[in-house]
């Protein structure tokens, strides 16, 4: 009797643990949680609940590729500060557990320092974290969900063109 109860409680424990694993935080929550309510930081978050609500928005003006990318996302959080950005950048690099995250891209030039790290499981990128610093500040940006890196990389070019078209139209209109 006691052994079966013990077995059952182990089972129950496992169940709770697995549901707990699903509810893991993004990198911001895990490594920068204490700064979320820090007045030096600005926090922008779009929760999974809001992501579900996005489907109710009119998508007519949104390019198909962008739509596909957005619908695969689960959450977005941006934590940024203008206070001692370089220091926070260093802190971020030391805090992020590189056993869990994999380095993707590092950009270093005169203006900025950007690192992309990803969390992958089963060949699917589940989180993309951008750690960036420049003169104006330090930014951590975390996307969770199912992230298609190729699609994401292509976005800027398609958006650039769209943006340019928009600009041209805007210029033409007043004439």
Partner 1 sequence: MKAKQERITVLLEKYWQAETTVEEEKELAEYFRGPGVPPEWESYRELFSFFEEKAQIKPSPELEGRIMESIRPRHHMVWWAAAAAIVLMLGLEPLFRHAPERVHVEQPGLVMTDTYDDPEQALAAVQKALFTVSKKMNKGLHPIK
Asked if residue 23 binds partner 1 (CB under 8 A), the reply is yes
Residue 175 Cβ vs partner 1, minimum distance, rounded to whole Å: 28
**Chosen residue from 17, 39, 57, 99 binding partner 1 by CB under 8 A:** 57
* Residue 20 in the binding site for partner 1 (CB under 8 A): yes
Q: How far is the CB of 169 from partner 1 (least distance, A)?
A: 18
Q: Which of 27, 132, 133, 140 binds partner 1 (CB under 8 A)?
A: 132
Binding status of residue 15 toward partner 1 by CB under 8 A? yes
- The CB-side HSE value for 17 (13 A sphere, CA atoms) comes to 6
Q: Which is nearer to partner 1, 88 or 131 (CB)?
A: 131
What is the Cα–Cα distance from 79 to 52, expressed in whole angstroms? 22
Among 72, 93, 118, 130, binds partner 1 (CB under 8 A): 130
Retrieve residue 22's tokens.
């699903």
Q: Is 39 helix (H, G, I), strand (E, B) or coil?
A: coil
- Return the number of the residue (29 or 93) whose C-beta is nearest partner 1: 29
Asked if 155 is part of the footprint of partner 1 (rule: CB under 8 A), the reply reads: yes
List binders of partner 1 among 66-85 (CB under 8 A): 66, 69-70, 73-78
Joined together, the tokens standing for residue 91 give: 């802190």
Q: Quick check: helix, strand or coil at residue 68?
A: helix
User: CB pairs under 8 A, 24+ apart, for 63-67?
Assistant: 63/158, 63/159, 63/162, 65/151, 65/154, 65/155, 65/158, 66/155, 66/158, 66/159
Q: Report the residue from 92, 96, 128, 140 that binds partner 1 according to the rule CB under 8 A.
A: 128
């Amino acid at each position: 009797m006691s052994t079966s109860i013990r077995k059952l409680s182990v089972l129950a424990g496992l169940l709770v643990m697995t549901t707990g694993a699903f509810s893991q935080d993004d990198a911001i929550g895990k490594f920068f949680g204490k700064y979320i309510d820090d007045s030096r930081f600005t926090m922008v978050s779009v929760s999974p609940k809001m992501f579900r609500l996005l489907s109710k928005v009119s998508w007519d003006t949104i390019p198909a590729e962008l739509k596909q990318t957005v619908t695969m996302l689960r959450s977005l959080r941006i934590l940024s500060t203008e206070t001692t950005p370089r220091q926070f950048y260093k802190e971020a690099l030391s805090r992020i557990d590189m056993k869990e995250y994999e380095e993707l891209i590092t950009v270093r030039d005169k203006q900025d320092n950007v690192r992309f790290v990803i969390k992958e499981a089963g060949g699917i990128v589940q989180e993309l974290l951008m750690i960036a610093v420049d003169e104006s500040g330090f930014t951590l940006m975390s996307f969770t969900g199912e992230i298609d890196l190729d699609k994401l990389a292509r976005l800027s070019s398609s958006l650039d063109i769209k943006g340019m078209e928009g600009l041209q139209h805007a210029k033409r209109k007043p004439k």
